[in-house]
Amino acid sequence: MKFVNVGFNNMINAERVVAVIASESAPAKRLVQDARDSGRAIDCTCGRKTRCIVIMDSDHVILSAIQNETISQRLAGGAGDTEEENEQ
């Protein structure tokens, strides 16, 4: 089992990730709102701006303050450490 840091020492199981998407689009915002309404949203932003949305195979939606490119690199096996992570 491989875990990936999505910010602020919050980890997700990499084997259960379905998609990693940006949070700016209207469909992404609707997806997050629907997940919040049904109790499937997990907010890992610690009060910061949501920059990335991770969709899991269990229909949970993970909100992260880390860029989607960084999380994609971490899922692919690269280090993916950026200045954002060092600021936390």
Best CA proximity match to 59, nearest among 1, 16, 88: 16
Angle, CA of 78, 81 and 88, to the nearest 5°: 150
Beta carbons of 70 and 6 less than 8 angstroms apart = no
β-strand pairing of 61-64 with 52-56:
antiparallel
DSSP 51: -
Beta carbons of 80 and 55 less than 8 angstroms apart = no
Domain holding 22, by residue range, is 3-80
The reply to whether 85 falls in a domain is no
**Alpha helices, H only, the chain:** 26-38, 68-76, 83-87
Looking at residue 83, its pLDDT comes to 46
What is the SS3 assignment for 73? Answer: helix
Q: Could you report the per-residue pLDDT of 28-40, keeping only the tens digit for each?
A: 999 999 999 999 9
- Number of structural domains (the chain) is 1
Q: What is the pTM of this model?
A: 0.87
The reply to whether 87 falls in a domain is no
Looking at residue 78, its pLDDT comes to 78
